[in-house]
Structure 1
């Protein structure tokens, strides 16, 4: 398919990205803290003390200014998007050739894009399609989320064609994955032993994944130097603030500690459920009935998860740790992936296999 991306369409894409970012917990927390939070604190100061007229005026001016700037930054997404595009151009991070005719092709397992002298291609399974619900689809590359291309709604000849675009790419990626999956299935030796057999629905998968994320803190995977540094910094700030006895210092330290450790706090809050449910939706086409068998292929040093339509192998050497969770086990893999097994059988054996593979 051929299309062009106009500057206005690109600005609208950037604007929608800014709107999505401001819905995230940390930016939303900062916005509330810099508006309602600081306003309530100023009111508390005025009611609990007797500042001079100049002090009252100063506090009110500071509070109103901070609230106004926060509101302006939060809601002025269009001007910020235009400014960001200007910055991209000035730094050469977006080529002028981008505004030329784009040619997007899907051929067998490969998707490719070309505009001007620029071209790029990759396997369709690496592409993630996001509909910004306003004017375009964003094609991004896997975990890195770097932009592969932008496909504006204006590229489609009809509404049904536009509405089915993301599903067509998703189905193409599924078919490619399934073809590779059959090769994995055929390679399972006849003497491969079933280590576990179980089934998942969305609720049980959510429960086990939540337990696995939290159980990760009993492994060294969670305790990176950065994690320890952030925790130590938070404890120091809180201890210093409490020792000062100042309410403002304590509130500021609490806010700083929450922001510094939000990634870890989220794991122990209901917020982690959003990520897990999103992952479950992406997995559903590959394991539609939720039934899974885990085979041990000793010859190749791997475990193979086999479903009704899809199977995937996991080298034992890629498994970083195994932990028991209520009702089963969690296997921690590369790239922060977690394989959960809803079965109590053979967990000790799995732990021994992983330990031996690590050598």
Structure 2
């Protein structure tokens, strides 16, 4: 990012990156090499988990047969299961997991709150409200139909939170945004509950989406949300250096060329795109966006140049692993991934709350 005209002599945005990574050039190069190698290992783990996700399911298909029809579909029942069900499910898990992990890292970096998750701005409840409206008032009954209502609800919720945070002529600071998001979340939860209690049919349809699942979505849902996730990833990449600069303090960040208000607005847009698309596609999936950024910071420190890529890779590995675990534990039936992530994430959340010093932001 270019240096602002009012920056002091010698100020450079890369100084924030150097502060985050260490000041000694030799140690920085060594640290970057180790982190890069770690990212390659994480990509290898994600690839392995994705292959296991294609292989394992409620229908037992031998590994050799899976590998054969994966590259040479022959029209057999095994090929249909793998190419029409398991591969789309795995790809959706990668996209949704990456979106949630990146959204969580952005939320924690923007709000300076180590316990922030993508639902903090009301995005998750906004998406849920969109689904409630779609079911109760428009009779929508398919996952593809839910996507657009859920994404619209997430976008409207994020816009309302920002307007409330900036109300009264003040700045939309992280504290204001968190308070506005909490207030809107409470209102939306009450409204959703009232509608669902008055409409049993809507409640029956909504509860299957609300549990969070990757099953039964298919390529149409994946292709519907993919452009929003890609745009969110691009915005997140543009925010890496401003986030590092603002981590040194708002005044220092301004001196290094960062624009706090613009960074927060673009960050909120990125979180809305990522979390809104992920929630619309798979339903609410708790703790993925909370836990994974902490894992990333434990591995690479507070430098956002590494936290965001690690979150982008580790989150889908965790989500796909939870999805596979749900298939194995309850075979021949399935345990929805939203339930598994809740069981896995709750101990992590408790451990984070009990720690005296959370991972540095």
TM normalised by structure 1 equals 0.22
Question: Relative CO higher for 1 or 2, CA cutoff 8 Å, sep ≥ 6?
Answer: 2
TM normalised by structure 2 equals 0.22
